[in-house]
Amino acid sequence: MEMPEKWNPLAMGWWKINVDGATFSELKSAGIGVLIRDEIGRVEVALCKKVEAPLGALEVEAKALEAGLLFARDVGLQDVVLEGDSINLVNALRGNCDPPAAVEPIILGIIELSKVFRNIAFSHVCRKGNVLAHLLAKQASNVADFISWIEKNPCCIEQDLIQDVQSFSRF
């Protein structure tokens, strides 16, 4: 099965949480990007967060999944798809394999946190299909702590967001 490269619509009432992480080795920090959209692709909330720790790629991806789910909980969403581009972490969340030891506590915490949602699914997306969350994660190198957007599009991804949603509306 081919992985999606663009955003795909959801069932009515569901929300998609796209997450990604970026490492900034020269800054000894990392960035997290979270983009939560409704079933037709409109941005509900977005987050760009800096983590002041020299995390590796796997650790920052796990922290991004955690941050996305926490953000969705905090804004009161109930039916969600948590989507990232780390197949190993998504498979661990689905229960298809054991989590990597380096991130096992984070993954177990996400599984516990997922119980607060009415419905939750874990989805893998290829890197090309996760560009917007990645752009937000990279933007974190320019923030002191975090920036969030509620019911508005982050200006740093505006053009890419328009292209992403238009691409699926043509089908």
34 contact partners, CB below 8 Å, separation of at least 6: 17, 18, 19, 45, 46, 47, 48, 49, 64, 67, 68, 71, 133, 136
Neighbouring-strand partners of residue 79: 119
In this prediction, residue 166 has a pLDDT band, given cuts at 50, 70 and 90, of low
pTM equals 0.90
In this prediction, residue 2 has a pLDDT band, given cuts at 50, 70 and 90, of very low
CA–CA separation, 125 vs 84, rounded Å?
Answer: 6
pLDDT at 5: 58
| Burial of 16 from C-beta contacts in 10 A (0-12 / 13-18 / 19+) | buried
CATH for 15-169?
3.30.420.10
pLDDT in tens, 142-151: 999 999 999 8
Is residue 1 pLDDT above 80, yes or no? no
Mean pLDDT lowest among 52-56, 61-65, 128-132, 163-167? 163-167
Q: Where are the domains of the chain?
A: 15-169
pLDDT in tens, 60-97: 999 999 999 999 999 999 999 999 999 999 999 999 99
